[in-house]
Structure 1
Amino acid sequence: MSRCPALYDEHATLNATFTDFAGWQMPLKYGSELSEHRAVRTAAGLFDLSHMGEIAVRGPQAAEALDYALAGKMSAVAPGRAKYSLLCDESGGVLDDLVVYRLADDDYMVVANAANAPTVFSELGQRAIGFDTEVVDESAGTALLALQGPRAAAALATLLDETGRAALPDLKYYASTRATVGGLDVLLARTGYTGEDGFELYVATADAPVLWRALLQATTAADGLPCGLACRDTLRLEAGMALYGHELSADTNPYEAGLGRTVALDKKFVGHDALQRLSEQPPARRLTGLTGTGRRAARAGYRILADGEPVGVVTSGALSPTLGHPVALGYVDANAADDGTALTVDIRGSAVDYTVTAPPFYKRPRA
C-alpha cells in the first residue's frame, strides 16, 4: 500500500494528479506539466519532496564512519556545507547517490532517494559498527520542500526576517543554515535538482502544512506554480542530472557514469579496491547525452545504434520543453561516445537521428 505524505491533503485541495512513486502517493502534476516546467525556468516552482529519506549520523567519529561508508571524503566537508556522494557495494556498483550535509563537527544528515532509503539506513548502520557514532532514521519526522527557479530567492526573502533576508545572498550553492521561514524553524539549503537557483527546506513533519502554505503564497506571488514529479523529471534531464534507477544502479559504476570525481581513492571505504581497479582502465561504455532534431523522443530502454548495430541503450529521454527538441541520456560503447558522433535510436522500429552531446543540455543564464 502506498504511503501518503504529510501534505497529501494540501495537494488534493489543489486538484493534484497523484502517482505511486517508490511506495508514496506523490503529486505528478497539478495542471499542465509543461506550464509547471516553464514556471521553474522563468519564475519559481514549489515541490513536495517528503518521500526522500533523511538519516542522521552523529557522534565523535561520525566523519570517520562516513568516510568508510561512502565513496567521497565527508571529513573534508566544512560544517554548514554539503557534498554529493555515492554509496557503493564491494564491487563498486552504486547502491544510491546521496547529498550529505555536515551540520556540525560531529553531526551529519544523509539524504537518500526514496526507494533506497531503507537500504541506505541499513548499510550506514552496518558500516558504522566499530565507530563511536549513531545512525538514526529521521525520515518520518522530517518533511522536505523545494523552491526552485530564478525568482526563488526573491520569493523566499518575503518569508524571512530582516536578518535572514540580509544573509540570503551569501548562502552559497551546496551550503545550509538554520533559518526561520514563515515563523518556522527550518534547515535551509541552497541545493536543488532542476538546473536553476533554488532552495531545499527541511522542516518537522508536523510543521510541513504551514510551511507549504506560506511558500505556496510566496511562489504564486512571484508568478510561480506548485510543481509535481513530471516536470521535475524533465527539468533534471535538461540539466543532465542522473536519476537513480535510470542512469545509476548496482550494475553501474562511478567511472562509466561520469562520476569519477566523487570517488576519493586516497582513503579506504567499502568498494575501494574494486573502484581502484576500475579507475586504472578506460570504461567500456560511457553515460552521455544525445540530442535529436525532430519531435520524436528517445525513451528509457530504446536501443542506440551505430551503422545499424546496437552500441548502447537510452536511460532517460524526453522532448525538451525549454529547447524544443528531444534530449536523452544513455550508456554508449566508449568507441561511439565522443561528442558530435552521429548515431540513431530505434524508436518503435524507426531509426531516428541523434547526436552525442555532452550534458547538460540546458544551463541557466548567469546574472
Structure 2
Amino acid sequence: MAELLRTALYAEHQRQSATFTSFGGWDMPLRFGSDRGEHEAVRTHAGIFDLSHMAQIEVEGPHAAHVLDYSLTGLPSALEVGQARYTLILATDAGIIDDLIVYRIASSHFLVVANAANRLDVVDELTARSMALKQSQVSICDTTAHRSLIAVQGPESTSVVSQILPAADRERFAKLRYYRMMEVRVQDLPIRIARTGYTGECGYELMLPAAGAVDVWRQLIHSGQEHGLTRCGLAARDTLRLEAGMALYGHELDRSISPLDAGLGNTVVDHTFVGATALSERPVAWNLYGLIGQGRRAARAGCNVYAGGGLVGTITSGVLSPTLGRPIALARLVPNLPAGTYHVDVRGKLQPMETVDLPFYSRNRSSHTHS
C-alpha cells in the first residue's frame, strides 16, 4: 500500500490535535474539534481549510488554450485573464474523468485545479490529448508537490484575508468578483487568490508555494482571531458542500456518469472536445435530485430510493443538515420522475423524503424551496 502524502501544513495540524483521515492518497485533517462547530463557524463567521491535496496543474504555451478546449467540456480559450470556470474532463464514452476548475493566468498560461484522487489521470489525459493534436508548443506540468492551497470561507472571509495583504492591494481585493482571481505578493511570496469555494458562502482560495504555506496559514489564523475564524477539516467541508448542492467526485460523479446524468449540462459548450460525439448520442440514464426529510435519521450514500414499491434509484450523499436541522440527500434517480415524496430505505426502515430545488442552502435563501 502506497504511503500517504502529507501537505506542508501537516505538522501545524498535528500541533492542533487534528484527527486525520486518508483522502485521495493524502493524510488530511478530518476535524480539529466538533464537526458541527466547524460547520457552523463557516456559516456564521469564517473557517480555514488546508486543501493542498488538490491537484495544481500548469498548462502553458502558445497552444495551451487549444489543448484545453479539446480536452474539456468548456471553452478555456474564451476566458479573460484572471477568470475561472468550472468544467469537466470526459472519457471518449462521455463518462466523467474529473470535475475541475480552470483559471486563466495569462494569455498562454492556465492553471487546472483537479481532485486529488484523479490528479494522475488528469495529467495523463491532458498530455495524451496534447500529443493527439500534435501540439508540441504546450507544457503540462503537475506542480502539486511544490504547491499549497488554503481556503478561507464564510461571511467574514473577506476581512480575514484582506488583513494579510499589502495595503496597496486591498482595494483591488475588495472588488474581486466570483470566479475571478488576482495575484499578489505577501512579504515577497507570490500568492494567487481566487474568489471560489465549495461551501455555499463567500470565500477565497489561496494558491501559493508550499514553502510559504506555514507562514501564510499562521498569518491568517492571527488575522482571523477577531473574526471567529475556525480551523476546519474535511468532515465540515463535506456537510457544507452538500447543503450547497455541490457534487462530489466518487459520489455524484464518476466514469459511469455523463454530464447530463449529473445535471451538469450547463458545463458543456458546443465545440469539438473528447467525448462530445458520445455525449450527443448517449441517452440520459439518471437525474440528480435533492431530497429532504423529517426527523433526525439521515439517509447515507448507497441507500435505495423507492416509489410505489419499485426501486427508482439510490442516495449518493446524505447527512443530517446542521443548518436546516433536517435530513438532506442527493439522489441518483431514473429520469423524469415527478416532484413529490419518495421513500428511502434507511437502515431497514422506509423514510419519506420530499424532492426540493437545489441548493438546500444558500446565503441569499433562508430555507429550501419545494420543486
State yes or no: 1:13 paired with 2:12.
no
Match 2:269 to one of 256, 264, 273: 264
Whether contact under 8 Å (2:57, 2:140) holds in the other structure is: yes
Identify the residue that residue 368 of structure 2 maps to in structure 1: none
Q: Give the partner amino acid of 2:251.
A: H
1:343 aligns with 2:327: no
Task: State how 1:1-367 maps to structure 2 within 5 Å.
Answer: 1-129=3-131, 130-131=134-135, 132-181=137-186, 184-265=189-270, 267-278=271-282, 283-336=284-337, 338-339=338-339, 341-365=340-364
How far apart in 1 are the matches of 2:179 and 2:151? Answer: 14
Corresponding residue SS for 1:128: helix
- Contact kept? 1:293, 1:325, Cα under 8 Å: yes
- Answer yes or no: is the 8 Å Cα contact 1:19–1:25 preserved in 2: yes
Report the CA distance between 1:183 and its aligned residue.
Answer: 5.5
Greater displacement, 353-362 / 213-222:
213-222
Distance in 2 of aligned mates of 1:212 and 1:325? 34
Question: Which 10-residue stretch deviates more, 213-222 or 35-44?
Answer: 213-222
- TM (norm. structure 1) is 0.96
- Compare 157-166 and 6-15 and name the one that shifted more: 157-166
Deviations 1:53-108 (A, max 9, x none): 01111100110000001111111111100000100000000000000000001000
Task: Provide structure 1 residue ranges, at least 5 long, that are not aligned to the other structure.
Answer: none
Which amino acid counterpart does residue 269 of structure 1 have in structure 2?
Answer: F
How far the C-alpha of 1:284 sits from its partner, in A, is 3.6
Number of aligned pairs?
Answer: 360
8 A contact 1:46–1:219 mirrored in 2: no
Question: Any conservation in 1 of the 2:36–2:322 contact (CA below 8 Å)?
Answer: yes
Structure 2 regions of 5+ residues with no counterpart?
A: 366-371
Per the TM alignment, residue 168 of structure 1 is displaced from its structure 2 partner at its CA by: 1.6
Amino acid across the alignment from 2:324: L
What does the per-residue CA deviation read over 1:239-290, in whole Å, with 9 as the maximum and x for residues that have no partner? Answer: 000000000000000011110011112x211101011223xx5x24201110
Instruction: Supply the distance in 1 between the matched residues of 2:280 and 2:81 (Cα, whole angstroms).
Output: 29
Shift of 1:20: 0.8
Distance of 1:275 and 1:182 partners within structure 2: 48
TM-fit CA distance, 1:180: 2.7
Give how far 1:182 is off. Answer: 6.0
Identity of paired residues, percent? 47
- Counterpart CA distance in 2 for 1:220 and 1:96 is 36
- Residue 166 of structure 1 and its aligned partner are, at CA, apart by 1.1
Measured in 2, the distance between the counterparts of 1:61 and 1:285 equals 36
How far off its partner does 1:237 sit?
A: 0.1
Cα pair 2:287 2:336 within 8 Å, conserved? no
AA partner of residue 272 (structure 2):
K
**What's the offset of the Cα at 1:169?**
2.0
Measure the CA separation in 1 of the matches of 2:11 and 2:153: 22
Distance in 2 (alpha carbons) for counterparts of 1:252 and 1:334: 13
